[in-house]
Amino acid sequence: MSHYSGNIDNFGMDSTSLAGPLEARLEAVQDAGFSQVMLSASDLVGHPGGLAAALAAVRTSGLRITGFQTLRDFEGLSGQLHDYKVDIAKSMLEMCSSLDCRLLLVQASTLRQASTDNRTLIRDLRKLAMLAIPMNIRIAYSPVASGHSATEFGQAWDRVFEADVPNLGLGLASDTVQLFAQGMPLDELDMLDPDKVFLVQLADFLWNDPADQAFRVFPGEGVHGQALAALVTRLHALGYRGDYSFEVGNSDYRQIPLSSVAQRARRAAVWLGEGVLQRSVPLPNHIRLKHAASR
């Protein structure tokens, strides 16, 4: 925990919220007081200096990588399609490992060709997790609202639970928890083992249709602030102590200065950390002074 951002250390930005070169985006995230950032494969392979230059930029930033995204449409395939996706998964895992990142995000399949047989889906998820074990990488499996194999968190959780692999867990996103359905009972979350929730992604919306990505904003900026606060509070009460990533890819944000966007994200993190979870702000030099007094 840093003296600067101790009350928001488990909140982070997503690189897709920002425009510009990777180095500038990382600097903006760090300058806003965040200690972590979510990266995507395009951040690495799209760097004009190549993969090595992208990795050097990440290491220089000193930021912890929340997770690496996104492996899509992996489970439920057969034959050449399955073999192809296994090769893609191996490449994603290698890039994730090269970042010293310990979490790969995997979205449930949206392909119509994918099987819906539960045993097949669980077998494939277990296979993916086993591929990740030698690299010390965890797999966060997330439902997709428009998906084919898992459309809501209960389905994804059932597969994670039945697969029963230590490094396979749930990726929970606020827009796939049916959070914005009026009257959704949050006690449905009580079925989850907080130690198997590997990541929570949060976004607010400027109107009541979370399917409209154009109006995705930082928590507290939209019309669902109270619902997000209730979700974070419930997860904390359940025992979740992992990371929260702001899953905000609003195209408007990519047309304004990096520092402005990063400060909006910081306000959201402070609101959640101090206002919702009611964490105290760490005192400057408090830890150092305690050590000095104990000598």
Secondary structure class of 246 (helix, strand, coil)? strand
Higher-scoring residue by pLDDT: 80, 289:
80
Q: What is the mean pLDDT of the chain?
A: 89
Residue 160 has pLDDT above 60, yes or no: yes
Q: What local confidence, expressed as pLDDT, does residue 286 receive? A: 38
Interatomic CA distance for residues 202 and 184, integer angstroms: 17
- Strands 216-217 and 244-246 turn out to be unpaired
Q: What local confidence, expressed as pLDDT, does residue 54 receive? A: 98
Interatomic CA distance for residues 137 and 117, integer angstroms: 26
Helix (H) or strand (E) holding 65: strand 64-72
What is the pLDDT averaged over residues 228-239? 94
> For the chain, what percent of residues have pLDDT higher than 90?
76
Helices (H), the chain: 22-31, 41-45, 50-61, 79-98, 118-132, 153-163, 225-238, 258-270, 286-293
What is the pLDDT averaged over residues 112-125? 95
Who contacts 254 (Cβ-Cβ below 8 Å, separation ≥6)?
A: 17, 18, 19
Residue 291 has pLDDT above 80, yes or no: no
What is the pLDDT averaged over residues 50-65? 97
- Please, what are the domains in the chain? 6-293 (3.20.20.150)
Helix (H) or strand (E) holding 101: none
Cα dihedral 82→84→85→88 (10° resolution): 160
Residue 219 has pLDDT above 80, yes or no: yes
Q: How far is CA 271 from CA 31, 64, 115, 134, 259, in A?
A: 18, 22, 42, 38, 18
CB 98 within 8 A of CB 52: no
CA 99 to chain centre: 16
